[in-house]
């Protein structure tokens, strides 16, 4: 009897011990990242977390981050080691993290208290003394009610200034204060250049500066008001704080972008994701209503925000800059190339679907790549491809069906896509590490040595530029999204290890993407085997003719 009572008591104790921490075991642990914080946004973030805690068992570890740090954190987040992560991010922080490989799921966007919309705009802000004409800004606005016309006139005013206007920003990853203005500047041919030699330039010059004490867009407006800068760019929330200031004027840029996004790692437990979605869908206005945040809204139920984000993604894509190719006959005395073969090579460039464009001596100031063609025998040619400024040369033996220009064009097109080195540029938004956003179909292994080079543009359209001395770089990280590099020739900020790439500058850093030796060796071996087989076939044919017995008629 006692033994039976003892067993039942022991069983009850074990059950109670296991049941006690059930609440703690079911409580999810989530790291929350907050980006671009001011006092109001911090309060709105805290209200969101408190609201979610009240809807289901969850514990948040809150971390506040600067734009660039947040991007790197999201890209490198390891859910297996670090657990679940949720973040409130600005739209370009999200897009940039995606570009670099972050695997994120968008849960929600918020409705603005000021505009009652899930989207916002970017605006140039400038002091009234910046002026356009003798009648002042009011007359200018009255005549040009269309924001796009106003923005266009603003650019024309920048062009007329004898002294370049001073544009200020607080972060290169700010969507409204930097990324969208940089797109608009590039579209209109506006670049930040600090030397005074403008003799050969075909673009509008400004001075782009990041003030040390500017932490947010409100700081930029105050500097413009105090006439310590000529103009800046801000979003609706900041504009609404200063819109009644008689010293300031605002011009809207032609872009619409989504409000801040609430995102989670895609590997987060699906049940936890659903709890967050359900909580967002049941949210009332009174649950947040802080700063510019009225309430959060399920992203999938906001078509305006979805469309705005899709547009931002397309704007953020970095298409490869054109590479100009000059094609001609070899200067060798015994080289024989007919016009049809040259034309086949030109058509291969045109039809390749790549960044390569044909050199036009009446339009282009320079070419980047030289192809020389020479005939090796009746149905094969040798293409020698040289990237001029890097002294990189490749040779390709191309066999084709004799007299068939389509066959030759197709073979050269395949070599362009599968065998040739390529030219790309450093992504200038990242000051932590030089990297090229990957858009090529070949892998470059870690440890690969390549060359990079500073290019200073005078005219993008005609390929007019000045080159600097090439320097060696090494691949330190390689994945589907980017090639991360290290080298001693990249610009650095004074007194630190951060880099000084400038998306608004006319100076860029070109990288020559060299296919790995292994890939090149395989191709060379295959080429030599093909040449050997052709030679062997010719030898057997010759032998057959020489030793074949003659018939009486012969």
pLDDT at 418 (0 to 100): 95
Q: What is the mean pLDDT of residues 501-515?
A: 95
pLDDT band, residue 550 (cuts 50/70/90):
low
pLDDT at 137 (0 to 100): 55
pLDDT at 24 (0 to 100): 46
**Secondary structure of 236-293 as H, E, C letters:** HHHHHHHCCCCCEEEEEEEEEEECCEEEEECCCCHHHHHHHHHHHHCCCHHHCCECCE
CATH class of segment(s) 323-419: alpha beta
pLDDT at 538 (0 to 100): 53
Lowest mean pLDDT among 164-173, 187-196, 204-213, 306-315: 187-196
Annotation: CATH topology of 119-257? D-Maltodextrin-Binding Protein; domain 2 (3.40.190)
CATH number for the domain formed by residue range(s) 28-117+259-317: 3.40.190.10
Lowest mean pLDDT among 48-62, 125-139, 294-308: 125-139
Quote the percentage of the chain above a pLDDT of 70.
84
Q: pLDDT tens digits for 212-229? A: 888 889 999 999 999 999
39/59 Cα distance (integer angstroms): 22
Tokens of 22: 């059930």
Q: Is the pLDDT of residue 23 over 50?
A: no
Q: What is the mean pLDDT of residues 237-248?
A: 93
pTM, two decimals, is 0.84
* Concatenated DSSP letters of 21-79: THHHHHSEEEEEEEES--HHHHHHHHHHHHHHHHHS-EEEEEEEE-HHHHHHHHHT--H
User: 119-257 with 323-419: one CATH topology?
Assistant: no
Residue boundaries of the structural domains of the chain: 28-117+259-317, 119-257, 323-419, 422-513
* Concatenated DSSP letters of 147-190: HHHHHHHHHHHHHH-SSPEEEE-S-TT-IIIIIHHHHHHHHHTE
Which residues touch 263 (CB under 8 Å, ≥6 apart)?
A: 74, 86, 87, 88, 89, 94, 104, 105, 106, 107
Sheet order of strands, 204-209 included: 190-192, 204-209, 165-168, 231-235, 119-127, 248-258
Q: What is the mean pLDDT of residues 426-441?
A: 94
Q: Is the pLDDT of residue 40 over 50?
A: yes
Q: What is the mean pLDDT of residues 326-338?
A: 83
pLDDT at 145 (0 to 100): 62
């Amino acid at each position: 009897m006692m033994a039976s009572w003892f067993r039942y008591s022991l069983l009850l104790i074990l059950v109670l011990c296991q049941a006690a921490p059930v609440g703690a075991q079911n409580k999810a642990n989530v790291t929350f990242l907050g980006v671009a914080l001011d006092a109001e946004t911090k309060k709105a973030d805290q209200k969101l977390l408190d609201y979610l805690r009240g809807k289901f068992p969850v514990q948040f570890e809150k971390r506040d981050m600067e734009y660039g740090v947040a991007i790197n954190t999201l890209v490198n987040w390891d859910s297996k080691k670090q657990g679940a992560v949720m973040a409130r991010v600005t739209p370009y922080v999200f897009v940039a993290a995606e570009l670099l490989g972050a695997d994120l799921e968008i849960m929600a966007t918020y409705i603005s208290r000021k505009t009652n919309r899930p989207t916002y705009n970017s605006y140039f802000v400038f002091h009234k003394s910046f002026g356009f004409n003798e009648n002042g800004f009011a007359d200018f606005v009255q005549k040009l009610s269309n924001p796009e016309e106003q923005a266009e006139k603003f650019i024309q005013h920048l062009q007329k200034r004898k002294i370049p206007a001073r544009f200020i920003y607080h972060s290169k990853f700010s969507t409204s204060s930097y990324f969208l203005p940089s797109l608009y500047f590039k579209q209109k041919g506006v670049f930040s250049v600090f030397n005074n030699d403008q003799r050969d330039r075909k673009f509008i010059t400004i001075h782009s500066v990041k003030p040390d004490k500017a932490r947010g867009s409100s700081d930029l407006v105050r500097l413009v008001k105090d006439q310590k800068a000529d103009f800046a760019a801000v979003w609706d929330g900041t504009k609404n704080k200063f819109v009644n200031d008689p010293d300031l004027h605002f011009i809207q840029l032609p872009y619409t972008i989504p409000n801040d996004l609430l995102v989670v790692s895609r590997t987060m437990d699906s049940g936890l994701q659903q709890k967050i979605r359900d909580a967002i869908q049941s949210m009332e206005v009174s649950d947040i209503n802080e700063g510019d945040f009225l309430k959060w809204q399920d992203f999938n139920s906001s078509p305006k925000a979805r469309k705005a984000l899709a547009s931002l993604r397309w704007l953020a894509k970095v298409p490869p800059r054109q590479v100009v190719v000059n094609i001609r006959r070899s200067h060798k005395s015994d080289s024989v190339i007919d016009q049809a073969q040259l034309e086949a090579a030109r058509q291969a460039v045109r039809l390749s679907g790549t960044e390569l464009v044909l050199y036009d001596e009446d339009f282009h100031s320079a070419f980047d790549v030289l192809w020389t063609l020479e005939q090796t025998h009746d149905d094969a040619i040798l293409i020698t491809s040289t990237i001029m400024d890097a002294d990189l040369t490749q040779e390709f033996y191309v066999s084709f069906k004799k007299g068939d220009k389509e066959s030759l064009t197709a073979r050269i097109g395949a070599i362009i896509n599968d065998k040739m080195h390529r030219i790309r540029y450093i992504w200038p938004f990242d000051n932590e590490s030089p990297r090229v956003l990957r858009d090529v179909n070949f892998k470059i292994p870690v440890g690969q040595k390549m060359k990079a080079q500073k290019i200073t543009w005078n005219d993008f359209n005609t390929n007019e530029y000045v080159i600097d001395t090439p320097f060696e770089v090494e691949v330190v990280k390689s994945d589907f999204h980017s090639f991360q590099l290290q080298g001693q020739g990249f610009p650095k900020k004074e007194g630190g290890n951060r880099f000084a790439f400038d998306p608004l500058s006319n100076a860029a850093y070109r990288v020559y993407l060299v296919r790995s030796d292994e890939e090149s060796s395989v191709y060379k071996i295959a080429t030599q085997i093909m040449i050997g087989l052709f030679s062997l076939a010719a030898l057997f044919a010759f032998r057959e003719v020489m030793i074949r017995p003659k018939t009486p008629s012969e």
